[in-house]
Amino acid sequence: MHSVCVTGAGGFVASWVVKELLAKGYIVHGTVRDPDDEKKNGHLKKLEHANERLHLFKADMLDYAGLCIAIDGCTGVIHVATPVPAGKVTNPQPEMLEPAITGTRNVMNACLKSKVNKVLVVSSMTAIFVNPSWPKDRPMDENCWSDAEFCKKNEKWYCASKVISEREALEFGKKNNLNVVTICPAMVFGPMLQSTICTTNTILLNLFKGKNSFNLGELDKPEEDIPIPIVDVRDCAKALLLAYEKPEAEGSPCGLNEELNYTCEKIMKLGWSHRSLEETLVDSVKNMKEAGLLS
């Protein structure tokens, strides 16, 4: 029975990845900051098969030794976690950029040390679309990268952290003969497994309440109305498992909407399909009502 380590296991996307892995018979090693924090991680212990096959390890992305312990004995790793500072960011380079890059480096080195067979790195659409020089009529695919220097110059720190981390991970894989695949999801909405509301669903909840709290500061032209590609968290988790399990998955599959000039051709060829936005919104409303977030 194969073991897979999921970093940041208690998070919105990662929780669904853990659920999918357990349902498919994997042993799951999940890294969390505090395995005894029931508010943040108790939902993981309630998942089906968690008692038999889920093991939580205390480690964050800046804890190389802890990551080595969590990854040891695993066949593969799905790296979902991104260090996010609590509260308002006052010094973005050391608070956002450097921890994300260092965290990915630590995961890669721990994977190499443990001789895992495959590493799936969860990047973001923001690693793709902040590229002022990309031809407007050419679909954005794995050949399109956000301009890291442009991002830093314009204080798009999340974009910068994602594009630098993803590129480094792929280069690390090539240099060390480590099978590294990256995937770039769109904005993730959908029902939550955890009890605390995540960042993206906070945006959705506010929209339901008539308040627009989209933070468009990371986009090229935040003053304009622009389409935002969206993916359901359940479809995102399935895309990650496809990219992890399929031997033909390589490079950087994009999990975005081709109608917005992003292509998701590579992940579609692996057998991925997605539900409608209406289903995502309906299920999100039901989930928020059950959680007492909507009256």
- Return the active site residues: 162
Return the structure tokens found at 207.
């929209």
Beta strands in 123-239 (DSSP E): 180-185, 187-189, 230-232
Return the structure tokens found at 152.
């830093």
Tokens 């998701």 belong to which residue? 264
255 Cβ contact list (under 8 Å, min separation 6): 183, 184, 185, 186, 231, 236, 239, 264, 267, 272
> Hey, how many other C-beta atoms are within 10 angstroms of the C-beta on 210?
6
CA dihedral 120, 248, 276, 224 (to 10 degrees): 60
